Amino acid sequence: MLTEEMDEGTAALAACLMEVERHVAQAGWDDAPRLFALVPTAELRAAEPGWADESGHAEDGGELPGHLSAIEQDEFRPGDDLAAALSTVAWPETVPGCAVSLVNSFLTAEDEAGLPDDPQQAQAWVAEHPGRQDVRVVVGVMRDGRRWSLARLASNPDDLLAGVGIMPGIDQLLERTLVEDLGDQPA
């Protein structure tokens, strides 16, 4: 997944998202969306000297240049509308990036015949369909415009798909949380 063509910043983002994906995978395939602040590990160590010992991150500096750490936002509860929940999030300038993980279900084009037009009915129909496929996606964006995504199918858990734009709508929602000012509302 990490190639020589990838710049250091994107490689650091990709590595961080891989850590997030391993972390959220522990919750299984029925996990709710989860939100993470992405911060430089060196800055986190400087601000929280005991953090490295508690988190298991080595002090030897052996990470990629610009290594990022993900800080889960435990209070994030998106309910059934991730887009609406993300529209209420605004990160302070001290947070250079963010990520979200989610599990989504989809059908192949041939299985979509008969899909109801009503969104709630369609969601229930997909959830019960025998051809349904589940995918765990982790999407991250940075203030400098870098973005990366990972996806893992439940039916093929040994393979990890990676790249830009796996879920472009999620990329855009996350990007807005980094640039829009929602006043005094905390992230």
Q: Both tokens of residue 144?
A: 């400098």
pLDDT at 125: 81
Q: Give the pLDDT of residue 55.
A: 53
> What local confidence, expressed as pLDDT, does residue 52 receive?
54
Per-residue pLDDT, 127: 79
**Backbone region of residue 27 per phi and psi (left: phi > 0; alpha: psi in -120 to 50; beta: other values):** alpha
Spell out the SS3 assignment of the chain: CCCCCCCHHHHHHHHHHHHHHHHHHCCCCCCCCEEEEEEEHHHHHHHCCCHHHHHCCCCCCCCCCCCEEEEECCCCCCCCCHHHHHCCCCCCCCCCEEEEEEEEEECCHHHHCCCCCCHHHHHHHHHHCCCCEEEEEEEEEECCCCEEEEEEECCCCCCCEEECCCCHHHHHHHHHHHHCCCCCCCC
On the question of pLDDT at 187 being above 60, the answer is no
Highest mean pLDDT (candidates 39-48, 155-164, 172-181): 155-164
Q: CA-CA distance, 27 to 30, in Å (whole number)?
A: 7
- Give residue-wise pLDDT tens across range 95-129: 999 999 999 888 877 877 778 888 778 778 877 88
Q: Which of 95-99, 131-135, 145-149, 177-181 has the lowest mean pLDDT?
A: 177-181
pLDDT in tens, 61-97: 455 568 999 999 999 999 889 999 999 999 999 999 9
Query: pLDDT over 90 for what percent of the chain?
Result: 56
pLDDT at 141 over 90: yes
Residue 178 has pLDDT above 90, yes or no: yes
Residues 6+ apart with CB under 8 A from 11: 2, 64
Compute the mean pLDDT over every residue in the chain, rounded to the nearest whole number: 85
Provide the pLDDT for residue 4.
Answer: 47
Checking if the pLDDT of 161 tops 50, the result is yes
Angle at 137 between CA 25 and CA 100, to 5 degrees: 90
Query: pTM of the full predicted structure?
Result: 0.82
